[in-house]
């Protein structure tokens, strides 16, 4: 991920929610968060699966579909795509973009995105990333989880949840995302001098930071990952207490 001014502003807002306006704390947390994201992304890319590559493009497509698309984040995500995802975009661009682009021997979609006008960027990305789409039926009342039908883009030949999956697909374990939260928790504690406040929602300062970082760095559900993280913290406390010998009685 390439950090932007927008990212820094959101981190400052999270600190203000925690009633911290010290610029030194803000600077320290910003640099620590960006460093943790880079480390986590590198760890994840070392074992990048088809799902991870698919997720990187799917997240950009979803951003471009928002009522007020975060252009800075879209450009940053394009610049940090895995090589295989970049090559997929380039092949698609050469197939459907205007002919002058095809004459450039070293075309780079992310470099084009840095200077492209907003509306052209969004329209071309939506057409380039998705090869079409499928409406996924919602779950009916009485089933395990009720949901409305949704449109799912076909990316790299796969539409999430449609059955058009690759053999290397499947549900992610979530372990990677819990590890990212653990990195962020340490960053928060070192910068602010206080442990993060427990909670899964964006109403809590640390929870808000995690939600924003997940928007920038992963397609995983922040609230679910936070639930797993706090469960791990609680289990760790229990194991630590069980490992301690009982206090000696007074003689």
Confidence class of residue 1 from pLDDT cuts 50, 70 and 90?
low
CB of 183 within 8 A of CB of 39? yes
Please report the sign of the dihedral spanned by the C-alpha atoms of residue 118, residue 5, residue 37, residue 69.
Answer: negative
User: Does the structure show a pLDDT above 70 at 250?
Assistant: no
Three-class DSSP category at 150: strand
Residue range 234-248: mean pLDDT, rounded:
63
pTM recorded for the entire structure: 0.54
Q: What is the pLDDT of residue 90?
A: 83
Residue range 49-71: mean pLDDT, rounded:
89
User: Does the structure show a pLDDT above 90 at 121?
Assistant: yes
Q: What kind and span of H or E run contains 134?
A: strand 133-136
């Amino acid at each position: 991920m390439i950090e932007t001014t927008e990212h820094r502003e959101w981190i400052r807002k999270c600190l203000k929610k925690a009633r911290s306006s010290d610029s030194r704390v803000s600077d320290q947390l910003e640099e620590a968060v960006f460093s943790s994201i880079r480390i986590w992304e590198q760890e994840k890319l070392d074992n990048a699966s088809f799902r991870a590559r698919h997720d990187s493009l799917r997240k950009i497509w979803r951003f471009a579909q928002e009522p007020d698309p975060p252009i800075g984040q879209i450009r940053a995500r394009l610049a940090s795509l895995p090589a295989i995802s970049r090559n997929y975009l380039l092949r698609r661009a050469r197939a459907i973009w205007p002919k002058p682009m095809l004459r450039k021997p070293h075309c780079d979609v992310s470099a084009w995105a840095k200077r492209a006008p907003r509306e052209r960027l969004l329209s071309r990305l939506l057409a380039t990333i998705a090869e079409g789409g499928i409406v996924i039926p919602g779950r009916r009342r009485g089933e395990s989880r009720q949901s409305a039908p949704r449109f799912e883009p076909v990316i790299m030949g796969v539409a999430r949840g449609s059955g058009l999956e690759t053999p290397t697909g499947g549900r992610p374990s979530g372990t990677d995302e819990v590890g990212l939260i653990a990195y962020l928790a340490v960053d928060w504690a070192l910068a602010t001098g206080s442990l993060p406040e427990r909670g899964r929602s964006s109403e809590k300062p640390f929870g808000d930071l995690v939600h924003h970082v997940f928007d920038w760095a992963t397609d995983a559900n922040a609230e679910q990952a936070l639930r797993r993280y706090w469960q791990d913290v609680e289990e760790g406390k229990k194991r630590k207490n069980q490992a301690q010998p009982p206090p000696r009685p007074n003689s």
